[in-house]
Structure 1
Amino acid sequence: MTLRSLLSILADGKFHSGRELGEEIGISRSAIWKHIRRIEESGLEVYSVKGRGYRVPGGVELLDYEQIKSALRPEVAELIKCPEIPLTIASTNEMAMKESQQGDCHGRLFVAEQQIEGRGRRGRSWVSPFARNLYFSLVWRFEQGAAALEGLSLLIGLSLVKALEVLSVDGVELKWPNDLLYQGKKLAGILIELNGEASGQCQVIIGVGMNVNMPKEQAEDIDQPWTDLKTIAGTDVSRNRLLAEVINQLVVKLEEFERTGFAAWVDEWQSYHAMQNKEIALQVGEKVVEGICNGIDTSGALLLQTPSGVQAYHGGEVSVQRNL
């Protein structure tokens, strides 16, 4: 709590002396210095100037569930639980999986300022700088088993795009099966994991990582073209407001999805599809298949027009790259 209290004071981007900080939090100046070192180790830049104190250049917006909750629709807020927002954890999906194995976590939101072991699809790491991007997992219970979840990752991607449009961020596209792109560069990714019975009740862990304000020096390990919301919008985007709108969109669509399945959203999803009617190459294991992307079917499978006819491909080890 002491570290969060210190960050809350420094969040305004102004200078605060060690004495001032110590008096406000109730610890010694040497303890303040140690906490400052911990903040720097997390990757957040702190200026230290003799005679003036410490400041975080440009300030920082910390996630605050009270702010998030105030922006949720009342009917959505009733369904969501978020007991805490830790500063640093291994992975929100990992935490959500452990908790869901202990009991019913329906509607539980796991969110953190930083992940040190964040994962994308196929075991890829997800670069997660402190308090700059959005990393969360939402647990949702389904009664009809894994077979009824076809197209779920596509629906989640659509929910993210619609949330961004509410915040006046337009032009974001969907890359099958679970990425968001802007002008060909990755903006967000989705990772879905299941806990439960294949044919009965199961809890789905919906993991989302979205680049909001990615520090360039911390993005050197990203192995593909990327972008962030600050670059797209040309200004800072509130992570609290963003998370609230994403949850608003997700919950409404998840409830409808359980009643109707994915079929109702096929046309809308395709209207945002970055690869629609383009020549693409699909890599399925060691095999590469080329053809024209005909969109998706009602199950969320990718349809590829090949010389031997239209073939349907589901998720897993399938990757999509536009032919050059």
Structure 2
Amino acid sequence: MPLRAGLPKRWWRRFWPATSRSRRWRSAGRTTPSPNPLSDRWPEGVARHVLARTESTNAEALRLAPGLSGPAWILTHEQYGGRGRRGREWVMPAGNFAGTLVLRPKGGAAAAPQLSFVAALALYDALADACGPSARLAIKWPNDVLLNGGKVAGILLESSGPELTSVAVGIGVNLAAAPDSGAVEPGAVTPVSVRGETGFTIGSEEFLDLLAPAFAHWLTQLETWGFQPLRNAWLARAARLGEVITARTGTNQTRGVFEGIDDSGALILKTPAGQQILPAADVFF
């Protein structure tokens, strides 16, 4: 086996097991901070703003966007007006992650929706580091990440202006606690938390140290090679691929076998009436 010293860190971390010095997760009963082997991997040219409290990191990111010279992460320790898809409230218990990356996407409006897949893959990688090897992670179309079958993270893309000069990639992760399941839409996946499912504790700033480099990696893949590598990676991590699911768009409901996603990221369902391609929908299992 070749020496790992000859490989970039982002590669040897994927092939060599974590040691006591490089392990990112720690038990909930420990309070001593673990070493941070990713501190030297913060993406070059990406700013970082940490707030004590804000209404919405997406709103704050879009407010700051005109004055930014490059991409920037906005992280808050308390968010009191967060939003999910279709204007739904995003509840943030104390200790959870609420952050937004604001950037000007290469390719303009056409490329913006693909940032959701960049975010999902980055979240998957960051959570794999945070949760340990026994955690079961999967990506649920279009914008959720599941941990042991429950929703642990969500993604919301928003833009500013008719010309889509900036995109805010909002990310919420239940690190410490899950919202009350009674507030969830009927039939939706039950929310879970990293601490509740694994017993491990990770702070929001420490989690951002994992997420930001992972996002930069997948964004580089998209900008260099196009969507196909991301599509393949996403499908390899997809929840319920090959199984029967239900897709709901407004009052319309389509049930069929989840066959994959097309070159634009749209959902492909095999139904009794034939193949259906849905660019937007809510998925239920």
Matches within 5 A, 1:150-229: 150-167=113-130, 168=132, 170-196=135-161, 198=163, 202-214=165-177, 219=180, 222-223=183-184, 225-229=190-194
Q: Report the alpha carbon displacement of residue 60 of structure 1 after superposing the two structures with TM.
A: 8.5
The structure-2 alpha-carbon separation of the partners of 1:159 and 1:116, relative to structure 1 and needing over 3 Å to count, comes to same
Partner of 2:245: 280
Question: Are 1:135 and 2:98 an aligned pair?
Answer: yes
Q: Residue type matched to 1:191 in 2? A: L
Q: Report the alpha carbon displacement of residue 61 of structure 1 after superposing the two structures with TM.
A: 10
SS in structure 2 at match of 1:115: coil
The question of whether the paired residues in 2 share the 8 Å contact of 1:87 and 1:114 is answered with yes
Q: Report the alpha carbon displacement of residue 103 of structure 1 after superposing the two structures with TM.
A: 3.3
- Inter-partner Cα distance in structure 2 for 1:134 and 1:187: 11
Q: Report the alpha carbon displacement of residue 197 of structure 1 after superposing the two structures with TM.
A: 5.5
Deviations 1:85-129 (A, max 9, x none): 2222100001011112x3345321111111100111111111112
- Inter-partner Cα distance in structure 2 for 1:220 and 1:288: 23
The range that moved more, 270-279 or 232-241, is 232-241
- Inter-partner Cα distance in structure 2 for 1:262 and 1:155: 9
Deviations 1:23-70 (A, max 9, x none): xxxxxxxxxxxxxxxxxxxxxxxxxxxxxxxxxxx89899xxxx98x8
Q: Report the TM-score, using the length of structure 1 for normalisation.
A: 0.70
Partner of 2:20: none
The structure-2 alpha-carbon separation of the partners of 1:73 and 1:114, relative to structure 1 and needing over 3 Å to count, comes to same
Q: 1:264 aligns with which of 203, 216, 229?
A: 229
If asked which structure has higher relative contact order (CA below 8 Å, sep 6+), I would say: 2
The structure-2 alpha-carbon separation of the partners of 1:259 and 1:150, relative to structure 1 and needing over 3 Å to count, comes to farther
Partner of 1:109: 73
The question of whether the paired residues in 2 share the 8 Å contact of 1:151 and 1:301 is answered with no
Number of residues paired by the alignment? 250
- Inter-partner Cα distance in structure 2 for 1:308 and 1:81: 49
- Inter-partner Cα distance in structure 1 for 2:256 and 2:147: 23
The structure-2 alpha-carbon separation of the partners of 1:143 and 1:236, relative to structure 1 and needing over 3 Å to count, comes to closer
Partner of 1:308: 273
- Inter-partner Cα distance in structure 1 for 2:239 and 2:183: 21
Partner of 2:19: none
Q: Report the alpha carbon displacement of residue 173 of structure 1 after superposing the two structures with TM.
A: 0.9
The question of whether the paired residues in 1 share the 8 Å contact of 2:247 and 2:284 is answered with yes
Matches within 5 A, 1:35-114: 71-74=38-41, 76-83=42-49, 85-100=50-65, 102-104=66-68, 106-114=70-78
Partner of 2:260: 295
Moved over 6 A (4+): 58-62
Structure 1 residues without counterparts, runs of 5 or longer? 1-57
SS in structure 1 at match of 2:169: strand
Q: Report the alpha carbon displacement of residue 179 of structure 1 after superposing the two structures with TM.
A: 0.3
Q: Report the alpha carbon displacement of residue 236 of structure 1 after superposing the two structures with TM.
A: 1.6
The CA RMSD over aligned residues, in Å, is 2.6
The question of whether the paired residues in 1 share the 8 Å contact of 2:139 and 2:145 is answered with yes
- Inter-partner Cα distance in structure 2 for 1:116 and 1:61: 29
Question: Are 1:237 and 2:196 an aligned pair?
Answer: no
Structure 2 residues without counterparts, runs of 5 or longer? 1-28
The structure that has the greater radius of gyration is 1
